[in-house]
Amino acid sequence: MSGSQTIGILTLSWLGQSLDTKKGGRLRLASMANRTQVAGRKVLRSQQFREGMARATVFIEAGASLSQFNPGDAGELQVQADTGQTWTMPSAYILDAPEMQDDGSAEITWNFGTQQELIGASS
C-alpha cells in the first residue's frame, strides 16, 4: 500500500524575494463564509466575504532589514507547497509591522482579496 502525500513545507515569496520560514506557516484563501443568525428559535444563515490570510514566521538574516516588512503598498505574495501547488496573490499587503524575536525570526501576516491557484506535479 503506497502512502499519500500531504503538504509538508510552504515556501513564500514576497515582492519577488524568496523568504526563509519556520515550519508552521498558515494559508486561508479568500472566500465566502457562512454566518449564523439566530432568530427566536430558528437558526438562519447569511454569507459574508472573508479576506484571505497568509501567516509565516520568517528569519531576518544579518544585513537584512526588518523594515522591509512594514505595512505599505500591496504587492505580489506567492505561497508554494512541496507538493507543487502554488497560490499567487497579486494584491497582498502586510497587516501590521512585525516584532522580531531574539532568534532572528518575525511573524508576518498578509491579507488579500483574490488569489489564483496553480496545481502542478511534485518534484
Which domains are seen in the chain, by residue range?
Answer: 10-118 (2.40.30.200)
Residue 83 pLDDT class (50, 70, 90 cuts): confident
pLDDT of residue 35: 96
d(CA 23, CA 42): 43
Q: In this model, does residue 30 exceed pLDDT 80?
A: yes
The answer to whether 51 and 114 have CB atoms below 8 angstroms apart is no
46-81 per-position pLDDT tens digit: 999 999 999 999 999 888 889 989 999 999 999 999
pTM (two decimals): 0.86
Distance of alpha carbon 80 from the chain centroid: 10
Residue 123 predicted with pLDDT over 50: no
